[in-house]
Structure 1
């Protein structure tokens, strides 16, 4: 049977580390903890699970820290997690089975990363990450921020998911500061660096500067196709926030030059026309989103609701505005099958019922 080293980098994670480490019980044959400067009880908590705890001075480089943790592994495969990640019971059992049955010629395993959820717990945002890799291939992490493991060889996709359970909302400008230190020091950002720097700028509401760097990334022509598509969507949102409507539409439609339309882009276009009150055009884009086939094993960011719920619920609203009430109600029921207790579905259902009641002759009303 394959053996697994869990390698992690941590700092001040006392609130969530135990949950993370407990969730890999029966999977990790060894646990490697690289601590980058904790001042709380993180290392004490970690010591309850492993004696392989190492100090690594923080050097503003996530890849350097992760590569250090990987260098301490001794098992066949390396699994990585962050302290606010967990394996839910179903996924833990799937990973145990994979560990037992996986062909040792596999070099890397892609797993889903579920990072955002609605009030009912349904996943709303996810993407795939390179989670498990063969130690003897000595794959390295790259990029100081928003790092990635540069894998190759035989790779497999699985439906095993890692669940992100962030317990506190961070407004830290740490990542932004790292990027700016690189630029201020005369360094250059890779295409991936330009993309993620632009995302950091957008997250900090610096929309004009974000527009500049998203544009530099796209115009450079060296980005990964999924990042190109996502950058068009993010650029469109930046233009929207800057009230630059025509440029918003141009940015969004640019995404179609990279691959077949994605539901995320079509929904954004639908919202753009709905906001203007052009419900006919909004219907076109939401309807297209509802008909799209999701790319198989796409490694890009996926907003799950765009591939089902949002098109249906928005078509219910927009078609009603156009006087097509019967079809609008049908779309609302389609949305309801996806999210039965969603407040919008319930509100619309009551609205459509009120219309029917109003149409009944006075003597037939309940």
Structure 2
């Protein structure tokens, strides 16, 4: 049976560290905490769980810190977490069943990484990560910011166990500062993933025109992976959406289709572009397609997970209502409610649609074909509820 060294880098994490360690301490064989300069009670909290606490002088390089953390491990395999990560109970139980099944020579265990949640607590955005790796393989972290663990070969297992990221604070300013110190000195030109990550930081700071320039340069690269190019075109579409350039937004979405089979989140974005134009029949086509597509099994990039659950139903409700097809609108609103039973927008839809369908005494038969003039949903809701896709 494999043994696991947990390897974490921390700084001023007294608000969240105990929550993280409480969720994982009994699942691992060793805990290594690498402190990069805490001035609060982080070390004291860590000492409740382990005596393996190491200092690392911060040099604005996350990869260097994570590699140092891996170097302290003594078990057969190494696992990484951030201090604001947590393993929820259902995933703890799955973890307990998973590890005894792993052969000693497994090189990497990939786990789900849930990065955002809807109002009902369902995962709304996520990706996958090489979460546990065999120590003797010597896998290394790369990039000072937005670091990644390179696993290019070996025996890999794709697990359904998830780590949930409950982010604390906004790190955009810090990340941009590291870019300037490490990657943008003396007029250096960003290339490859660094350029992609820099563009993402520009988006986080709402510098959409500047981000467009970086994404456009990135997709012209000859060595970029299809997955990264598809993602970059999706982000380009997001930027053009915020810039009010609908034609360029649609072009970016369609260009992304050259790299891979359509995904549900991509279909929803195309559907929403048609919906913005009032082309509801075309929008319905793409939302219906989204409902037929499985979540990609081996995809490692960011996915808008609600596009595999309630999002297409929400937008189909709106589109069918605009076309006066109230029964279809009601059907999809009910399906969305199955995921978000307490959502106030969907509950309001339900009431209004039932009235239009004659379920209440105040409605008439003619209402069944009358389009609903006002928007059914608050499409600018941004706190994990019934938000429209870009």
TM-score of the aligned structures, taking structure 1 as reference length: 0.94
Offset at 1:186? 4.3
C-alpha separation in 1, matches of 2:95 and 2:79: 11
2:326 alignment partner in structure 1? 325
C-alpha separation in 1, matches of 2:267 and 2:176: 30
C-alpha separation in 2, matches of 1:126 and 1:106: 24
Offset at 1:237? 1.0
Q: CA contact under 8 A between 2:191 and 2:218: conserved in structure 1? A: no
Q: CA contact under 8 A between 1:26 and 1:96: conserved in structure 2? A: no
2:239 alignment partner in structure 1? 238
1:4 alignment partner in structure 2? 4
Paired residue secondary structure (1:334):
helix
Paired residue secondary structure (1:23):
helix
1:359 alignment partner in structure 2? 364
Cα deviation, 1:46-103, whole Å, max 9, x if unaligned, reads: 1111111111111111000000010011100001000011111222232223222210
* Deviates most, 256-265 or 25-34: 25-34
* Deviates most, 320-329 or 71-80: 320-329
2:284 alignment partner in structure 1? 283
For residues 152-167 of structure 1, the aligned pairs below 5 Å read 152-166=153-167
Paired residue secondary structure (1:112):
strand
How large is the RMSD of aligned CA atoms in angstroms? 1.6
Q: CA contact under 8 A between 1:183 and 1:189: conserved in structure 2? A: yes
1:20 alignment partner in structure 2? 20
For residues 17-96 of structure 1, the aligned pairs below 5 Å read 17-96=17-96
2:335 alignment partner in structure 1? 334
Give yes or no for the alignment of 1:180 onto 2:180: yes
TM-score of the aligned structures, taking structure 2 as reference length: 0.88
Long gaps (5+) in structure 1: 362-366
2:252 alignment partner in structure 1? 251
C-alpha separation in 1, matches of 2:297 and 2:50: 38
Long gaps (5+) in structure 2: 367-390
1:112 alignment partner in structure 2? 112
Q: CA contact under 8 A between 2:23 and 2:86: conserved in structure 1? A: yes
Q: CA contact under 8 A between 1:279 and 1:321: conserved in structure 2? A: yes
C-alpha separation in 2, matches of 1:340 and 1:224: 39
Give yes or no for the alignment of 1:309 onto 2:314: no
Q: CA contact under 8 A between 1:20 and 1:86: conserved in structure 2? A: yes
* Deviates most, 322-331 or 121-130: 322-331
Number of aligned residue pairs: give it.
360
* Deviates most, 351-360 or 152-161: 351-360
For residues 260-279 of structure 1, the aligned pairs below 5 Å read 260-279=261-280
C-alpha separation in 1, matches of 2:98 and 2:319: 46
Offset at 1:110? 0.1
Cα deviation, 1:255-308, whole Å, max 9, x if unaligned, reads: 100001112222112222222322222222222222223222322211111113
1:364 alignment partner in structure 2? none
